[in-house]
Chain A
Amino acid sequence: EAQVTQNPRYLITVTGKKLTVTCSQNMNHEYMSWYRQDPGLGLRQIYYSMNVEVTDKGDVPEGYKVSRKEKRNFPLILESPSPNQTSLYFCASRLQGRGTEAFFGQGTRLTVV
C-alpha cells in the first residue's frame, strides 16, 4: 500500500530533551516536507526537501532540523524542544511535477511540558 508513515503518533516530552519524529514514504517521491498544524493557523511548512541531500527552510523553521540521507526517509529533529513547539505535525511527500498532490502521514501529536 502506498503510504507515508510517521512515528510516533503521540509523544509527550519535557523541555530540552532532544527528540526525533520519523517519516518514511514508499512511493519513490522526490519531494518531502514537514508541516505543523495549530488551531486557527492551519498548516505551516517547517522544512522541505526536493531530493536526497537537498533541503530548505519553510515558513517556520526555527527550532527544527531535518536531514534527507535516503530518498524514502525525512526525519524531523527537535534538538531542544520548548512548549511553543507543542503541535500536530505532518510529514508529506509528492512526486516532482506540475499539480501533483501531497500525500500526508497520519500526524504526530507532540506535547512539550
Chain B
Amino acid sequence: AQTVTQSQPEMSVQEAETVTLSCTYDTSESDYYLFWYKQPPSRQMILVIRQEAYKQQNATENRFSVNFQKAAKSFSLKISDSQLGDAAMYFCAYRRGDTGNQFYFGTGTSLTVIP
C-alpha cells in the first residue's frame, strides 16, 4: 500500500502571513493524483487543491498553491495571506490515476491561525 507522510502534527501562522505544510509519499506508480483536504472543526472534509502527477506545473487555487516535486515525492501546500478561517486539520492524500479505488491519507497537520 502507498504511504503518505505528514511530519508536522501541528503548525501555527500569524494572520496574513504565509505557511507551508509538508507532505511526502511513497509509490512506484507514475500515474497518480495528489490532493489536499481541509477539515475544519465542523468535521466536513473539503477539497483544497489537487495535482496530477503528469503535470509539471504546480496547481494553484486562489491563496493556496502546491510545490510538487515528483522526483523527491514531495507535495507541500502553501497558504498565502492566512485567514482565521484557514484554521483546520489538513490532510494530504494520494490516489492512483487509473484504477485508484482508494485514497491514502496522511496523518494530518493541525493549523492554528493567530490573530
- A residues near B (Cβ < 8 Å) are 31, 33, 35, 40-45, 48, 50, 56, 58-59, 88, 90, 92, 98-99, 101-102, 104, 106-107
Contact = CB atoms under 8 A, between A and B. Distances in A.
B98 interface: yes
Categorize the interface residue count of chain B: 20 to 34
B103 A43 contact: yes
16 contacts: A31-B101, A33-B101, A41-B107, A42-B106, A42-B107, A43-B105, A58-B102, A59-B102, A92-B45, A92-B103, A101-B47, A102-B47, A104-B44, A106-B42, A106-B43, A107-B44
B64 interface: no
B105 A44 contact: yes
Contacts of A107: 43-44
A43 B91 contact: yes
A48 B107 CA distance: 20
Nearest to B91: A42
A17 B45 CA distance: 29
